[in-house]
Structure 1
Amino acid sequence: MTARREVSLDLTEAELERFGRRLGRVAFDEGVFVCLYGELGAGKSTLARAACRGAGVTGPVPSPTFTLVNQYEVDGGAAVQHADLYRVDTVEGLLDMGWEALVQSVGAVFVEWADRATAYLPSDRWDIRLDFVDSPSRRRVGIVALGSAPPIPGAEAHP
């Protein structure tokens, strides 16, 4: 059976958090670069926070909107990094925030507003798009595994 490389889910906020934890565990174990896309308020921060928890972060997980990157050490020093590119609008801004080191880092990397760095994203990654649906309490989550990124966790449970 071939692993799914793309999946679309409609999730409540609680389901999004559970899925994020599963996603974070696999992203951490496999060292996946995860790009998050969606409108303001679509759930990128909720998913990123849950993924950081799933990757083993136990302390507070604040938004990196103003710090640009938050780094957490888990499992004996391995890194989980959470970036927010909302305020980055130039290549110089990417370089100043340490983008090259972020892309080359080992461990899980979660990047909100990844569309601000499209030309500079690694080819092996998960792209996750969160969209509003008719119900204000649900989100559509589209996930694509690109390049040699591992299969999407939980995709087998959602035909």
Structure 2
Amino acid sequence: MTKLSIPDLAALPAVAAQVVPLLQGHRIILLAGEMGAGKTTFTKALCRALGVADDVSSPTFALVNEYRDARNQPIYHFDFYRLNDPQEAVDIGAQEYFDSGYLCLIEWPSRVEALLPPDRLLLTLTVTGPSSRELVIGNQE
């Protein structure tokens, strides 16, 4: 388990750069934390660190956005907050995305727990102050 302190928004690019090597060997990345913890904001910084040039935004209503990294590989960004039933994720082909071999960044993974593959990396953001956060990174098997 790795713990990283994020003292403020200005620190996000440096912290995201530290996280990139920790993603090696993982395709399914779960982003957990309470509402307002900064899951989407961190995802934006992480995507920038991975070389995504496109605008990164929350796929709250679309459920999934696709970006391209520096190697032109897809990155799939999911936000399951507004999901009423896991079947909605099945209907958009979430399992095919998860099985694609490409990086999947998943916000609110608890809403689709039964659909998630067993091998995944959990990133948990915890609010520690008005603009500070703690990021805990650990395997979730």
TM-score (norm 1): 0.78
In the alignment, does 2:14 pair up with 1:18? Answer: yes
Give me the whole-angstrom Cα distance separating, in 2, the residues matched to 1:25 and 1:97: 30
Give the letter for the 1:19 counterpart.
V
Report the identity percentage. Answer: 32
CA RMSD of aligned residues (A): 2.0
Letter in 1 for 2:82: R
Check the 8 A contact 2:53/2:68 in 1, yes or no.
no
Provide, for residues 34-87 of structure 1, a one-character-per-residue CA deviation record: whole Å limited to 9, x for no partner: 000111110100111111112221121121111110112334542111110011
Between the two proteins, the alignment pairs up a number of residues equal to: 140
Secondary structure of 2:44's counterpart equals helix
The residue correspondences of 1:25-40 to structure 2 (distance < 5 A) are 27=23, 30-40=25-35
Closer, same or farther: CA 108–24 of 1 in aligned 2, 3 Å: farther
The TM-score with structure 2 as length reference comes to 0.86
Once the 2 structures are TM-superposed, how far is the Cα of residue 116 of structure 1 from its aligned partner? 0.9
Could you say which residue in structure 2 is the equivalent of 1:109?
A: 104
Q: Indicate the residue corresponding to 2:68 in structure 1.
A: 73
Change (3 A) 1:96 1:24: farther
Aligned match of 1:53: 48
How far apart are the structure 1 equivalents of 2:65 and 2:48? 13
In 1, distance between residues paired with 2:93 and 2:116? 13
Mind listing any 5+ residue stretches in structure 2 that lack a counterpart? none
Distance in 1 (CA, whole Å) between partners of 2:102 and 2:58 is 19
CA distance in 2, matches of 1:23, 1:8: 10
After TM superposition, list the pairs within 5 Å mapping 1:110-129 onto structure 2.
Answer: 110-129=105-124
